[in-house]
Structure 1
């Protein structure tokens, strides 16, 4: 049985990865991710940093006019790790569904 990815498995990081994986290309800005996940600024920032250190996301900081804008993009390694994590979850579900109920 495949192992779950402990970095991705945390609920907020799973939401971030799922949101980014839904895009075929490009990334999401911090404000959009915050809205999608319901996270606070500090909490979201900390989890993005964890994903970035793992090489799962790239973080781009720029200015739009005079406002800072942070964009988070799923890396190829992150996309592959997310696919493995989802496959592990599906394997667990399939295994549970295939076993006869215990008496």
Structure 2
């Protein structure tokens, strides 16, 4: 078995990626909404998003709505594939025979 992805394995980043992967049709979410959903500070979320973005797992896009700047966050296809690999590895650790109870 290969090593668990260290970028995703950190608890806060796992929560971010899992939340984004659960979005319908890989939709984006605003930064404040994600922050509230995860109950993280803006600085903490920003730090983890930067690490995920550097790995190519998430994308942030900034726009103006009315006169207000808005940041949207979404998982990338690379990030979704990495999350699926990660969850498959976790499942194999839990049940190495591949049998379900």
Pair in the same fold by TM > 0.5: yes
Unaligned runs of 5+ in 1: 99-103
Give the TM-score of the pair, scaled to structure 2.
Answer: 0.89
Residue 17 of structure 1 aligns with which residue? 17
Give the TM-score of the pair, scaled to structure 1.
Answer: 0.88
Instruction: Within 5 Å, give how 1:24-43 maps onto structure 2.
Output: 24-43=25-44
SS at match of 2:95: helix
Q: CA deviation at 1:68?
A: 1.2
Q: CA deviation at 1:16?
A: 0.7
Higher relative contact order structure (alpha carbons within 8 Å, sequence separation ≥ 6)? 1
- Cα distance between partner residues in 1 of 2:76 and 2:22: 13
Aligned residues: 97
SS at match of 2:88: helix
Residue 5 of structure 2 aligns with which residue? 5
Of 87-96 and 10-19, more deviation after overlay is shown by 87-96
- Cα distance between partner residues in 2 of 1:27 and 1:70: 10
Over aligned residues, Cα RMSD in angstroms? Answer: 1.5
- Cα distance between partner residues in 2 of 1:16 and 1:25: 13
In the TM superposition, structure 1's runs of 4+ consecutive aligned residues that sit over 6 Å from their partners are none
Q: CA deviation at 1:58?
A: 0.8
Rg comparison, structure with higher value: 1
